[in-house]
A = this chain, B = another copy of it.
Amino acid sequence: MNKILVVGSVAYDSIETPKIKKEHLLGGSANYFSLSSSLLASVNVVGVIGDDYKESDLELLKNRGVDLAGLQKVPGKTFHWSGKYEESMNEAITLETHLNVFEKFNPVIPDSYKDSNIVFLANIDPELQLQVLEQVNSPKLVGADTMNYWIQSKKETLLKMISKINILTINETEARMLTDEWNINNAIEKLAEMGPQYIIIKRGEYGFMAYDKSSKEFFVMPAFPVRNLVDPTGAGDTFAGGLFSYLASLKDWSFDDIKRACIHGCIVSSFTVEGMGTEKVKSITLKDIQARTKEYLKIIQVGSSTSSIEDVTSKKLNMLN
């Protein structure tokens, strides 16, 4: 079975939505990714925590079988992010960022992690992402995410990192920013030219687009329409966790597998947004995911025979001839 190594932030977040305000919630990309991916796969975490990090938050991951050998504990406070959302909840507005122990984070990969054959570089400084890659023994599959901040401040390093990965997950705005292309298809193709075979565009409540550079094929799907959007924080990292853990369950990967892995990621993240912070993704089970996947496959089901869309136009064309 494939093992996943994830490097990312481990944090406490204070989040304000139009309806709820909560302080000191468990957060950070590595936590969201691990909680999501550990439902299907074996996960090795690399990150840093301060001495205020709660034992129960470590237990949470341990109980999911997550290996924490790569989680450094150093004196000081854990990374803390505060953000709020307006009514549309499309974008987080950062109120405060206290890097704390994260400021001097220097990822060290334990020997026991070095043979992880899937690596996910969550959104952190691209220099650190590269450092992680240098320490692992030729993984079979490397994925990464990034954000506007690195696109603006460290583009060159970011491009170097992107040139070394197989799958890039990135949101629509960032994809446009990184490529200077407004049209999303063109942006995707430019991203693929930077290196990765697969480009996954995250579109929030509107789902995702996936692209395979080899076949030049696109795959576009809506998100599962959630009834109760509580807090979108972590949706992207949960999506990535679902995506890579699905792939970890397979021996090799076709674009069809990537498509299904994205749907799995979509479903897991549809749960995440139903609770504040990691509240909901902490408690879901594979059975919950299975049930919602069934529901999802129904809402994207065109009907008994998709070919009949073409029958109507063909019939008309024949009448005209």
Contact = CB atoms under 8 A, between A and B. Distances in A.
A138 interface: no
Contacts of A183: 227-229
Contacts of A149: none
A310 B227 CA distance: 22
Interface in A262-321: 263-264, 286-287, 289-290, 293-294, 297-304, 306, 308-310, 312-317, 320
Contacts of A40: 312-313, 316
A287 B317 CA distance: 8
Interface in A76-93: 87
A220 B217 contact: no
A297 B311 CA distance: 14
A182 interface: yes
A206 interface: yes
Contacts of A131: none
Interface of A: 39-40, 87, 182-186, 203, 206-207, 209, 217-222, 225-229, 246, 249-250, 255-257, 259-260, 263-264, 286-287, 289-290, 293-294, 297-304, 306, 308-310, 312-317, 320
